Amino acid sequence: MSTAILTGQPVPGSSIEGDLRSLGFDVRIASDAAETETLLAEVPGDARVALVDARFVGHVHALRLGLTDPASRWPRSRVPSPPSPPAGRP
């Protein structure tokens, strides 16, 4: 099972925790950066983990596309970096 770590305070009435559970995530809640670090360390290195801002107010389908759609999965090592300027140009 994939893990989702919610960071920060959710918007009142938010369904984000339930939405993530409905997508098959084991949801953990971090109240600050130190707790986020601790929760990340507990996740096995070969497991999928998502850090989700608890203030997210989009539709569950936006979460599904962003977190589970194979076309949107980019390992951190494959995220393109901005191009370097040509030599001699600022």
55-81 pLDDT, tens digit per residue, is 988 889 888 888 887 666 555 434 444
29-65 pLDDT, tens digit per residue, is 999 999 999 999 999 888 888 899 999 888 898 888 8
Query: For the stretch 41-57, what's the b/e string if a residue is b when 16 or more beta carbons lie within 10 angstroms of its beta carbon?
Result: eeeeeeeebbebebebe
7-22 pLDDT, tens digit per residue, is 988 888 999 999 999 9
The percent helix, strand, coil of the chain (3-state, each to 5) is 35, 20, 45
Share of the chain above pLDDT 70, in %: 77
Task: Please tell me the pTM assigned to this model.
Answer: 0.72
What's the CA gap between 19 and 61, in Å, rounded? Answer: 9
Taking the CA of residue 8 as centre, how many other CA atoms within 13 Å lie in the half-sphere pointing to its CB?
11
